[in-house]
């Protein structure tokens, strides 16, 4: 009887081995797969900043008064053009300075030349074209620039003000 049991043990082990592999094969044959494509859209973010919210400079009548350098930055994630315009045609003061002519109020543009700046009614001046955030991938995202104002001969001494609006457009 011991011999019969000893003979059955290898037979039972062989049957279990075959059964395990048969079940494994059936599981693989019964499996299926599915693919999915994931698309993520990164939304456009247009953002512009100036590092100096207020700027003051002085000069003599009959010459240009030139500001210190300041920086405009593209803080968004798209290429932009930057336009500048004055709120009023005149720098307000005791003897208003008219900016409606050429070469009166200017901002240095990205080509290192001067752009005339007027009111929106006269047309905003383009001072910066196609900058993009992430300097490691796309180059500079800033413009270091200056302003200058031609002070007409005979302009009364005093303070003159105007507001400059910068607009970023993608």
Please give the biggest Cα pair distance in the chain: 131
Q: What is the C-alpha separation between 169 and 163, in angstroms, rounded?
A: 19
CB atoms within 10 A of CB 8: 10
Q: Which of 30-44, 59-73, 104-118, 142-156 has the lowest mean pLDDT?
A: 104-118
Q: What is the pLDDT of residue 21?
A: 56
pLDDT of residue 35 exceeding 90: yes
Q: CA torsion angle for 108, 113, 116, 120 (degrees, to 10)?
A: -60
At 153, is the secondary structure helix, strand, or coil? coil
User: Which residue segments constitute the domains of the chain, with CATH numbers given?
Assistant: 48-169 (2.60.120)
pLDDT of residue 60 exceeding 60: yes
Average pLDDT, the chain: 81
Q: What is the pLDDT of residue 80?
A: 81
The answer to whether the predicted template modeling score (pTM) of the entire model surpasses 0.85 is no
pLDDT of residue 128 exceeding 60: yes
Better pLDDT: 66 or 128:
66
pLDDT of residue 33 exceeding 90: yes
pLDDT of residue 134 exceeding 80: no
């Amino acid at each position: 009887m011991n011999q019969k049991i000893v003979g059955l043990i290898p037979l039972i082990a062989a049957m279990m081995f075959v059964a395990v592999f048969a079940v494994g094969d059936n599981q693989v044959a019964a499996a299926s797969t599915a693919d999915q494509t994931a698309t993520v859209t990164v939304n456009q973010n247009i953002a512009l900043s100036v590092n100096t919210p207020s700027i003051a400079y002085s000069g003599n009548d009959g010459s240009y008064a030139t500001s210190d350098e300041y920086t405009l930055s593209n803080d968004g994630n798209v290429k932009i053009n930057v336009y500048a315009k004055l709120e009023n045609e005149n720098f307000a003061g005791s003897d208003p300075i008219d900016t409606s002519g050429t070469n009166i109020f200017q901002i240095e543009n990205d080509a290192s030349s001067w752009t005339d700046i007027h009111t929106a009614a006269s047309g905003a001046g383009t001072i910066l074209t196609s900058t993009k955030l992430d300097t490691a991938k796309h180059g500079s995202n800033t413009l270091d620039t200056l302003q200058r104002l031609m002070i007409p001969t005979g302009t009364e001494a005093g303070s003159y003000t105007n507001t400059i609006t910068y607009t970023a457009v993608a």
